[in-house]
Amino acid sequence: MLPIVDKPAIQFIVEEAIQSGIEEILIITGRNKRAIEDHFDRAVELELTLKAQGKYDLLGLVEELSEVTIHYVRQKEAKGLGHAVLCARQFVGNEPFAVLLGDDIIDAAVPCLRQLMDVYQDCPGTILGVQEVPRTAVSSYGIVRPQPVKENLWEAVDLVEKPSMEEAPSQLAVLGRYIIEPEIFAILENTTPGRGGEIQLTDALRRLREKPVYAFNFQGRRYDIGDKQGYLEATIEYALKRPDLRERFLKYLIKQTGSLVTEEEPATTAEHQPEKKA
């Protein structure tokens, strides 16, 4: 429920799914996450208030959220992303499904998941949303060993979880968006937990060979809000997109950054005056 300006981050994820055409959503929650369920409950009183106040843009958003079916499953123990995906097995059944990670907010003209779904129509199989990261950052991500298919699309012939710079097969990092074939569940069920007792999704994806695994370079600005810098960037940039906030907030930022620059400038003393040219 971490807010980006005045909207919970989880709502950005749900809105992306809805805008991509998803009609049923399963949210995997942990302990003390009841607030998420309460947030997405239909609030008839709020809808009536917004209608009475003529706030039809907000009303449309509330109604859109209320029309999608949201289910919840609790992950009783934090056993890794692979285990969280395995918790969705009964809900998914034998259909391909999408995974959107809550720490990755993606601002895109075409929703990121919609981009992956369009790729799936042409190239059925598991689709990983990727972007290139600096080589110094590869040790923070699952990295793809790519084999080119066409522009912005590769077959992921292998995946390496958090490699060193020397071991990284590329700089294409998996960034929180997936379309996955249901065969993954049987693999996850038989995946031995790794370090920390966690079941890694990357390990299971490496063994998914019945259909190709693709890596697609999606278009959009990705924010890692699990990182303090990423969270601050998301908050500032989304605030600057808001017509009701932009002007005043921009003036505030200019004032603050100007003050910081002034504070950081070295003081000029009488002993260190710049020389005057004749």
Say what the pLDDT of residue 195 is: 73
SS (H, E, C) 29-84: ECCCCHHHHHHHCCCHHHHHHHHHCCCHHHHHHHHHHHHCEEEEEECCCCCCHHHH
pTM of the model: 0.85
- Residue stretches of the chain with pLDDT short of 50: 267-278
Say what the pLDDT of residue 34 is: 72
In this structure, what are the phi and psi dihedrals at residue 199, rounded to the nearest 5 degrees? Answer: -95, 115
Say what the pLDDT of residue 140 is: 95
User: What is the rounded distance in angstroms from the CA atom of residue 117 to the CA atom of residue 19?
Assistant: 12
- Could you identify the residue written with the tokens 């249901």? 182
Kindly report the CATH class assigned to 94-219.
alpha beta
Say what the pLDDT of residue 39 is: 67
Q: What residue segments make up the domains of the chain, in order of their start? A: 94-219
User: What is the rounded distance in angstroms from the CA atom of residue 191 to the CA atom of residue 204?
Assistant: 7
